Amino acid sequence: MLRLVRGSKALSLGVRLLSALSISIAGGLLAAACASAQVPDSTATLGSRAPRYVPHASAPAKPKAYRMHLHGGLFAPVDVNATSPTLGLRLGRRIVSHVQGGLLVGWTFERKNLEQPVNSLPGLQPQRILARADGQLVPAMAYLQVDLNETRFLVPYAGIAAGYEWLSLKVNDYRTGEAASATYTNFAWESWGGVGLRLGPDMTFDSELFYNGGSLERDVTDPSGQSYREAVHANGVGARVGVNFLF
Amino acid sequence: MLRTLPVRALSGLAAGACRALLPLLFALSLSLAFRVPAAIAQTGPELWSIQLDGGLLMLNEARGTSPRIGMRYSKHFTSHVQGGLLTGFAYKGASLEAPAAATPGGESHVELARTDARLVPLMGFMQVDMTDRFWLVPFVGIGAGYEWLRLITKDHRTGLESMVTYGNIAWEGYAGAGVRLTSRVRVNGELFYNGGSLEARVLDPDGSTWREAIHVNGVGARVGLDMIFE
């Protein structure tokens, strides 16, 4: 695993750059989304006897520029045997034909309990929770995605993203009452490839495999006063499915 | 959990600035999400669906299957995507028995203890139909929400009885195929997975409070009647 070593200036600059970039893209997307909502509904005059679904021939000729991808799936870090559920969102804009770019966020959650059985009665068995550890991984990245076609039923695609990632760990030992938490952060990246099934002109159902790469770190001072840096490797693979809307 | 590795100290990180990004991105996501319904507005009459289903659920941590009934109520956002609420009811009973002493052949049993569990989910869900043209409609869906489990135990040997309600956030995923009977009615057959770890705070006889969990992860199969109306 490669670990980046940076000075404080480089880190702060990177963080500021990422912040500025994100704010700019967010502002642009928001303004454009507000503007696009002003387009009148071309089907508002359809009566109740209209066909169940009207083909999108009446849609404006201008291609829809924005994409929203909502997805869910499973993520398996390489360093631990803990397949975790993950949810995510990609908001993007078509840059040129077949290419889109935007922002993605996600949330991956993993919980481990130390348990012991309560009784020996038949059926569902309650477990007493003796200790618990929760981990939450949140990426916020800018991405680029290439769709290999824009009209066919099957839409292969691939994408890459880079940005920042946060990992929050919380541990509770209910036997002793002790609790601890830590947050690890760093630059990270993600890539994915998959296939979409075109459900309509403005929608695909996507299935994809992805890889998340990052070494998230934090500063620690031990009881002797010496400072260390701790790292958690968030490298892992996952699979997810989602719906991609154009608007 | 994740392994931590100590490495040499580097300079401080502007974590506060980074954390500020998250609410911004979240706000952006929400603002755009609210625009999406306008963007994918109905291109026909508003359609709703109700599905009534029944089937079996097999929990990983309990032997045997449990009967289950359920309902999904949803709005069609497009010809392929619908979203709404689902609920259901599953029952799991189990007893500890011993052969009655006076019965030759052991055909009669005495119940020593009994556990009844009732599981009720209430979730929001989203479903994608892969086609709106063919008579066979493959579909997938996912739901997330809350789930409650009421566990009633009776131990006839000790006379102890208890009733505890466990609850927590849970999720459900399903996939199946529907056979169109008419343009508005179809029969769906599907496999589903229920995932959750339901919890309750319980009081010990010695007065201390503990957290207990029941894992309700399991797979099931169900058949339902899906009806579309305006």
CB contact under 8 A, A68 and B183: no
Q: Which residues of chain A are within 8 Å of residue B43 when distances are taken between CB atoms?
A: 43, 46, 53-54, 56, 58
| Distance set, CA A198 to CA A72, A245, B138, B176 (Å) | 18, 11, 14, 19
Examine residue A50 and state whether it is found in any structural domain, yes or no: no
Q: Is B102 on the interface with A (CB under 8 A)?
A: no
Split into its structural domains, chain B has a count of 1
What is the predicted pLDDT for the residue at A200?
Answer: 82
Mean pLDDT of B111-127: 93
Examine residue B104 and state whether it is found in any structural domain, yes or no: no
Structure-token match 């590795």, residue found = B5
pLDDT in tens, A81-96: 788 999 999 999 999 8
pLDDT in tens, B37-63: 444 444 567 899 999 999 999 998 888
The closest of A105, A81, A104, A102 to A93, measured between CA atoms, is A102
Examine residue B120 and state whether it is found in any structural domain, yes or no: yes
Residue B135 has pLDDT above 70, yes or no: yes
Confidence of residue B216 (pLDDT cuts 50, 70, 90): very high
* Partner-chain residue, chosen from A48, A58, A68, that has the shortest CB–CB distance to B32: A68
Examine residue B13 and state whether it is found in any structural domain, yes or no: no
- Give the span between the Cα atoms of B204 and B164, in whole angstroms: 13
Please identify among residues 121-150 of chain B the ones whose CB lies closer than 8 Å to any CB of chain A.
126, 128, 130, 132, 140, 142, 149
Residue A3 has pLDDT above 50, yes or no: no
Residue B12 has pLDDT above 50, yes or no: no
Contact A36, A62 (CB under 8 A): no
Examine residue A73 and state whether it is found in any structural domain, yes or no: yes
pLDDT in tens, B160-175: 888 999 999 999 999 9
Examine residue B177 and state whether it is found in any structural domain, yes or no: yes
Q: Which residue has the higher pLDDT, B210 or A6?
A: B210
Contact A81, A112 (CB under 8 A): no
Residue A106 has pLDDT above 50, yes or no: yes
Confidence of residue A118 (pLDDT cuts 50, 70, 90): confident
Q: Which residues of chain B are within 8 Å of residue A234 when distances are taken between CB atoms?
A: 2
pLDDT in tens, B61-70: 888 899 999 9
Helix ranges, chain A (H):
8-36
Residue A57 has pLDDT above 60, yes or no: no
> Counting Cβ atoms within 10 Å, is residue B50 exposed (0-12), middle (13-18) or buried (19+)?
middle
Residue A44 has pLDDT above 70, yes or no: no
Q: Is B79 on the interface with A (CB under 8 A)?
A: yes
Structure-token match 């559920």, residue found = A85
Confidence of residue A107 (pLDDT cuts 50, 70, 90): very high
- Give the span between the Cα atoms of A244 and A237, in whole angstroms: 21
Structure-token match 């952060």, residue found = A185
State the amino acid at position B193 in one-letter form.
Answer: Y
Return the residue of A nearest to B40 by Cα. Answer: A247
Split into its structural domains, chain A has a count of 1
Examine residue A78 and state whether it is found in any structural domain, yes or no: yes
Contact B148, B119 (CB under 8 A): yes
Mean pLDDT of A140-151: 92
Examine residue A120 and state whether it is found in any structural domain, yes or no: no
Q: Is B61 on the interface with A (CB under 8 A)?
A: yes
Return the residue of B nearest to A121 by Cα. Answer: B113
Q: Give the distance from residue B8's alpha carbon to the nearest chain A alpha carbon, in angstroms.
A: 5
ipTM of the complex: 0.70
Best residue of B7, B8, B19, B21 to probe chain A, by most A CBs closer than 10 Å = B21
- Give the span between the Cα atoms of A164 and A18, in whole angstroms: 8
Q: Which residues of chain A are within 8 Å of residue B31 when distances are taken between CB atoms?
A: 30, 33
Q: Is B203 on the interface with A (CB under 8 A)?
A: no
Q: Give the distance from residue A5's alpha carbon to the nearest chain B alpha carbon, in angstroms.
A: 8
| Distance set, CA A3 to CA A14, A227, B7, B129 (Å) | 16, 18, 10, 44
Residue B227: φ, ψ to 5°: -120, 130
Return the residue of B nearest to A49 by Cα. Answer: B45
Q: Is B34 on the interface with A (CB under 8 A)?
A: no
* Partner-chain residue, chosen from B14, B42, B94, that has the shortest CB–CB distance to A11: B14
Q: Give the distance from residue A100's alpha carbon to the nearest chain B alpha carbon, in angstroms.
A: 17
Residue A152 has pLDDT above 90, yes or no: no
Q: Give the distance from residue B129's alpha carbon to the nearest chain A alpha carbon, in angstroms.
A: 8
Q: What are B72's two structure tokens?
A: 């999904």
The closest of A168, A185, A23, A29 to B24, measured between CA atoms, is A23
Contact B142, B176 (CB under 8 A): no
Domain interval for residue B157 = 49-95+111-229
The domain that holds B182 is classified in CATH as 2.40.160.20
Q: What are A213's two structure tokens?
A: 């790469």
| Distance set, CA A111 to CA A172, B165, B196 (Å) | 11, 21, 11
pTM score? 0.71
| Distance set, CA A188 to CA A136, A235, B9, B36, B73 (Å) | 15, 9, 19, 29, 40
Structure-token match 């481990």, residue found = A112
Mean pLDDT of B204-220: 90
Q: Is B111 on the interface with A (CB under 8 A)?
A: no
Confidence of residue A124 (pLDDT cuts 50, 70, 90): confident
Contact A154, A197 (CB under 8 A): yes
Contact B85, B127 (CB under 8 A): no
Examine residue B180 and state whether it is found in any structural domain, yes or no: yes
The domain that holds A105 is classified in CATH as 2.40.160.20
CB contact under 8 A, A230 and B6: yes
Examine residue B20 and state whether it is found in any structural domain, yes or no: no
CB contact under 8 A, A43 and B113: no
- Give the span between the Cα atoms of A162 and A188, in whole angstroms: 6
Instruction: Report CA dihedral (A233, A235, A239, A240) to the nearest 10 degrees.
Output: 70
Question: Which one-letter DSSP state was computed for residue B61?
Answer: T
Q: Which residues of chain A are within 8 Å of residue B96 when distances are taken between CB atoms?
A: 121-122
Q: What are B227's two structure tokens?
A: 């009806």
Domain interval for residue A199 = 66-114+128-246
Mean pLDDT of B137-157: 93
What is the predicted pLDDT for the residue at A5?
Answer: 38
What is the predicted pLDDT for the residue at B166?
Answer: 96
